[in-house]
Chain A
Amino acid sequence: MQSGAGDRSAAFWSDNRITPLELAGIVIALIFATGAVTLPMFTGLVAQHDGWLAAPIGALSGVLALAAVLYLDRRFPGQSLPEYSAQLLGPVLAKVLLLTYGVYFVHVAALVVRESTDFLRAGFYPGASPLVLGTPLLLLTTYMVWHGLEIIGRTTIIVVPVQIAFTLIVTATAAAQLQPELVLPLFERGIVPVLRAALIPAAWFGEVVALAFFLASVKGERSRAKAAYAGVGVVLFLIVIGGVSAGMLFGDQVGRLAYPLSSVARFVTVGGFLRIDPLAMAVWLFLTVLKVAVLQHVATIALARLVNIADDRPLAVPLAGLVLLLSDGLFTNKQEVDAWLLAGWPVYAFCMQMLIPAVLVLVALVRRGPGGQKGAGSREERPAR
């Protein structure tokens, strides 16, 4: 497509390849970063102590979105969404799609930054300005985006295992206090509240749609699919563990705690005096850095392809400023953030994470139909070269 700056771009991207393990780490960071702390609250708000049951149902949407992305990836080897969307939808619609995704990922990144600054201010620094809290975070992510996917991938290898270990440690140390009867009976208010609650984790799991923009940069055709699914599985496990432990500690009141998992961490003392919740916060925050970096990276790609810039690095800086300002300006208070995440976000996320990939898959299936698999594949690959 962009053969003008093709050489440099190609060299840049071939340098920036990540391993399947790093991909799994990215998937975990993408879903678990904000999901860890706020998700039990939202599901608890809708389904009380049955909230943790919503996560496995919600994970289905992640699996579906991932299946769509992986199908498209197999269909168009070596290409990512900006390239194959042009083949499937034509240049104009593809541009619209890229703009939509660019806006969407900037929006989500702003939302994530907002959630993390809200969390910091609620729990630790009530007087701090959100811009002061958000700036170092975005400087870090901008550095990562500037240097490309590989930096993000390598950081996940360091950060994600720590986060997983920490989640397990927090829940294990709280285990002595857990009251399993608090999450009983299952489906107390019927299955409907659980299904309604499942829409919220579904929107988190659906974030894997971002993979459509860089799956081609992951080494290993087969193993990357496995790694992505494994990442979703790990996140599901962590979210269920976290949700169950929050449910067993706080029962029907989970929805009344702004950050249930952080409350679990606040409940834990090691050796009677060592409190681990500030550590838990720090670890969680680094995961947030990763998530924002991935989202910013994807938004950068989408917008760069939209305006046909080969070297998309310069875009990272203004986007960071935009994300920072949006994170503060989109919502006036935390109540608005929560209301949006509870009501508007699932619908919006469904469109971006499920509907659009589904349409792409459908078009790909239809276009393959008459020509046969091989014929269609070669016909579509030709214009790309």
Chain B
Amino acid sequence: MKVRRRHAPCTFCALLALALATSGCVQSAEVNRLALIDLMALDAAPDGQVRVTAQVIMPTRLGVGPASAAGEGAPFFLVESTGRTVAEAVSNLQKKVPRQVFLEHMQLLVIGDELARRGLFPVIDFLVRDQEIRTDLLVAVTPGTGAELLNIASPLPAVPGEAWNDLIRHERLVVSSVRNLFVALGEEGQEPFLTAVAPSSVQEPGGGSPLGDMELIGAGVMRGDRLAGYLDRDEAIGLQLLLDDRPRSVVSVTAQAVLAQMGGAAAARVRGGEDEGEDDPGGSGGAGDPTIGGETRGHQPVHPWDYTSLRLRRVNTSLSPVSAEPPTLRFEARLVLDIVNTASLLDVENPDVAAALERALADLFESYVRAAVSKMQAMNADAAGFGAVFRRSRPHWWRAMRERWPELFPQAQVLYDIEVAVVRTGLATRPVGPEAHLELPGRGVTTR
């Protein structure tokens, strides 16, 4: 036993070393030997080839390391190469970069329009198969070429990739990752979609050189693995609602639309913020309508360009089949929004106005969804997964009809049931604009 004990530390160390070696310390990747790829673009090249463009980060220009020279131009350089497949193109890229091309930190993959229209499954196969690519990598499509987008030196961040990743994830206007595409390719009755981005221009102050950045322009929808067309931003919100994703976008509704929901007389009440009448119920009691006075001082017309903007906070939607011939679905949505800006004189604190605002928003979202549906039907691209809805709840019907679905999808009808709740008004209550009553003869003078 004593002999054993003397050996115990040695044994322990040896076992520990073995245990660590079991997970294989075979291949090492030193950070300073890697070429970190921040953004990558895939475009169509002649002869059916694929062109890869990559932003390789130059860490010294990021202001790290001893020999850093931060602020000397963009902290990345671009390399491009072509190949018959993505893997081959990336391998060719490696031949031009003197360090090990490292894809694990890639923030965003941009696919050019032409390649997307040619068919994406070979690309997605690479993305799923390669061990350096994360399944949550964002993938976007751009109407031009991806290379063009990568050529932009984004003014704000040192490295654009991370910022663009944040932009897509924060604004959440249709987010597509490798996983989404992979799943949608295999899911019957559901077609893939992609975040659509495009270059935008921002100006340096004082008329300096134009800088570029990326902007979200909506969504690209696919038929099979091919890009069929684009949805604009509003339609993209519609698609997101259909998918029960959580758009975080801001939407705006006109004051007129809200007033139309309130009907003529009621609409008149809110003009000019006569909620004063409610504060002082006795003041105009004779008329029976406490806000009737508003009509008399209706000198604050609601302009057609008066808007109230709201941010989507919570989205809960569902699609369920109603009948099969023609395919009819019920779209139920429960949306929660916050007011972020009242660019009109609508008194959003007034319960009547708030209710009308909610109804107007419901109409607005319905129009978004309708627009998305009709555009997808025109392209015959079922990105919202109407077919999958039928497949899940009526498997027998689907089995008989799956061949005919491309004909049936354009005829699909949607019944809308949208409920909107506006729950908060931000840090302000009423519109901060000029209050009408202050300008009334007498009142305004006396208070001053």
Q: Is the interface of A mostly helix, strand, loop or mixed?
A: helix
**B183 contacts A182, C-beta separation under 8 Å:** yes
A127, B391: Cβ atoms closer than 8 Å: no
Name A132's contact: one of B26, B188, B393 (CB within 8 Å). B26
B135 within 8 Å of A (CB atoms): yes
Report the separation of the CA atoms of residues A257 and B391 in the bound assembly, to the nearest whole angstrom.
Answer: 23
Interface size on B, as a range, is 20 to 34
Minimum distance in angstroms from B76 CB to a CB of chain A: 20
- Given known A181-B388, A253-B182, A253-B183, contact A124–B131 (CB-CB < 8 A): yes
User: With contacts A128-B26, A251-B183 known, is A143 near B15, CB below 8 A?
Assistant: yes
A133 touches B26 (CB 8 A): yes
Known interface pairs A249-B179, A250-B182, A253-B185; A140-B22 also in contact (CB < 8 Å): yes
Q: A124-B24, A125-B27, A132-B26 are in contact. Are A256 and B131 (CB under 8 A)?
A: no
Check: B444 CB closer than 8 A to any chain A CB.
Answer: no
Q: A133-B26, A140-B15, A286-B19 are in contact. Are A185 and B393 (CB under 8 A)?
A: yes
B residues 1-53 in Cβ contact with A at 8 Å: 15, 18-19, 21-24, 26-27
A15 contacts partner chain B, Cβ-Cβ < 8 Å: no
Give the most central of B22, B27, B135, B393: most A CB within 10 Å: B22
B186 at the interface (CB under 8 A from A): yes
Q: Which residues of A sit under 8 angstroms from B188, Cβ to Cβ?
A: 252
> Chain A CB within 10 Å — which of B135, B136, B187 has the most?
B135
B96 at the binding interface (Cβ < 8 Å) = no
Least CB distance from B384 to A in Å reads 12
Q: Is B408 an interface residue (CB 8 A)?
A: no
In the complex, which residue of chain B has the Cβ closest to the Cβ of A139? Answer: B18
CB distance from B31 to the nearest CB of A (A): 15
Question: Are B18 and A185 in contact (CB-based, < 8 A)?
Answer: no
Report the minimal beta-carbon distance from A181 to chain B, rounded to whole angstroms: 6
Q: Are A250 and B19 in contact (CB under 8 A)?
A: no
Q: Are A140 and B392 in contact (CB under 8 A)?
A: no
The reply to whether A252 and B24 form a contact with Cβ atoms under 8 Å apart is: no
Choose from A136, A257, A263, A269 the contact partner of B18 (Cβ within 8 Å). A136
B contact residues around A124 at 8 Å (CB): 24, 27, 131
Q: Interface 1/0s, chain A 250-271, versus B by CB < 8 A?
A: 1111001100000100110100
Whether, in the assembled complex, A137 has its beta carbon less than 8 Å from a beta carbon of chain B, the answer is yes
Closest chain-A Cβ to B316's Cβ sits at a distance in Å of 14
Q: For A257, what are the chain B residues with a Cβ–Cβ distance below 8 Å? A: 128
Q: Tell me the chain A residues, 236-256 only, with Cβ under 8 Å from chain B.
A: 249-253, 256
Q: Which residues of B contact A182 (CB under 8 A)?
A: 183, 187
The answer on a CB contact under 8 Å between B136 and A269 is: yes
Q: Which residues of B contact A281 (CB under 8 A)?
A: 23
Determine whether the beta carbon of A128 is less than 8 Å from that of B24.
Answer: yes
With CB as the reference atom, state the residue of chain B lying closest to A283: B23
C-alpha gap A267/B21 in the complex (Å): 26
Q: Which residues of B contact A128 (CB under 8 A)?
A: 24, 26-27
CA distance A133 to B25 in the complex (A): 9
A188 within 8 A of B: yes
Most buried by B among A127, A177, A181: A181
Known A-B contacts A133-B26, A185-B395; A252 and B186 likewise in contact (beta carbons under 8 Å) = yes
* Least CB separation from A122: chain B residue: B131
Contacts of A285 in B (CB 8 A): 22-23
Query: Considering only CB atoms, which chain B residue lies closest to A254 in the complex?
Result: B186
A233 part of interface (Cβ distance < 8 Å): no
Q: With A and B bound together, what is the CA distance between A286 and B22 in angstroms? A: 8
Contact of B134 with A282 in the complex, beta carbons under 8 Å:
no
User: Which A residues lie within 8 Å of B19 (CB)?
Assistant: 136, 140, 286, 289
A267 with B187: CB separation less than 8 A: no
Contacts of A267 in B (CB 8 A): 134-136, 179
Known: A136-B18, A139-B18, A252-B186. A123 touches B131 (CB 8 A): yes
Contact A282–B23 (Cβ < 8 Å): yes
Contact with A along B357-399 (1 / 0, CB 8 A): 0000000000000000000000000000000100111010000
Give the complex CA separation of A120 and B187 in angstroms.
29
In the bound complex, how far is the Cα of B179 from the Cα of A353, in angstroms?
Answer: 38
* A316 to B190 Cα, complex, angstroms: 54
Tell me the complex Cα distance, A185–B23, Å: 39
Shortest C-beta distance, B382 to chain A (Å), equals 15
Residues of A within 8 A of B24 (CB): 120, 124-125, 128, 132-133, 136
Please report which residues of chain B, range 155-180, place their CB below 8 angstroms from some CB of chain A when the two chains form the complex: 179
A321: CB under 8 A from chain B?
no
In the complex, chain A residues whose CB is within 8 Å of the CB of B186 = 251-253, 256
The docked-state distance in angstroms from the alpha carbon of A250 to that of B136 is: 12
A126 in contact (CB, < 8 A): yes
Q: Is B131 in contact with A126, judged by CB distance below 8 angstroms?
A: yes
- Asked if A322 is at the interface of the complex by the 8 Å CB criterion, the answer is no
- Proximity bits, A148-159, B CB within 8 Å = 1, else 0: 000000000000
Is A355 interfacial (CB 8 A cutoff)? no
Chain B positions 137 through 154: 1 when the CB is less than 8 Å from some CB of chain A, otherwise 0: 000000000000000000
- How far is it, in angstroms, between the C-alpha of A347 and the C-alpha of B24 when the chains are bound? 33
Inside 8 A of B391's CB, which chain A residues have their CB? 185, 188
A184 interfacial by beta-carbon distance below 8 Å: yes
Closest to B385 in A: A181
Task: Give 1 or 0 for each of A171-192: 1 = CB within 8 Å of chain B CB.
Answer: 0000001010110110010000
Task: Name the A residues within 8 Å of B179 (CB-CB).
Answer: 177, 249-250, 267
- B27 close to A263 (CB less than 8 A): no
| Complex Cα gap A137–B26 (Å) | 14
A266 to B179, CA, bound (A): 11
In the complex, A253→B181 CA distance in Å?
Answer: 11
- A126, A136, A184, A249: the one contacting B21 at CB < 8 Å is A136
**When chains A and B are docked, how far (Å) is the Cα of A122 from the Cα of B391?**
35
A355 to chain B, nearest CB (A): 34
Which B residue sits closest to A281, measured CB to CB?
B23
Task: Give A257 to B134 CA distance when docked, in angstroms.
Answer: 13
Distance, CA A267 to CA B178, complexed state (A): 10
Which residue on B lies nearest to A126, using beta carbons?
Answer: B131
Assuming the A-B contacts A185-B391, A185-B392, are A250 and B183 also in contact, with contact meaning beta carbons closer than 8 angstroms in the complex? yes
Q: Nearest chain A CB to B128's CB is how many angstroms away?
A: 7
- A228 and B186 CA atoms in complex are apart in Å by 39
CB distance from A323 to the nearest CB of B (A): 14
- Residue in A139, A256, A263 whose beta carbon sits within 8 Å of that of B135 in the complex: A263
Give A143 to B12 CA distance when docked, in angstroms. 12
Q: Determine how close the nearest CB of chain A comes to the CB of B53; give it in whole angstroms.
A: 25
- In angstroms, how far is the closest chain A Cβ from the Cβ of B383? 15
- Chain A residues lying within 8 Å of B393, measured Cβ to Cβ, are 185
| Shortest beta-carbon contacts, A-B, top 9 | A136-B21, A253-B186, A128-B26, A184-B392, A252-B186, A136-B22, A282-B23, A251-B183, A125-B26
Known contacts A125-B27, A249-B183, A282-B23; 13 additional CB pairs below 8 A are A136-B21, A139-B18, A143-B18, A177-B179, A185-B393, A253-B182, A253-B183, A253-B185, A266-B134, A266-B135, A269-B136, A286-B22, A289-B22
The 15 sampled A-B contact pairs (Cβ below 8 Å) are A124-B27, A128-B24, A140-B18, A185-B393, A188-B391, A251-B186, A251-B187, A253-B186, A256-B186, A263-B135, A266-B134, A267-B135, A275-B134, A281-B23, A285-B23
Using a CB–CB cutoff of 8 Å, the interface residues on chain B facing chain A are: 15, 18-19, 21-24, 26-27, 128, 131, 134-136, 179, 182-183, 185-188, 388, 391-393, 395
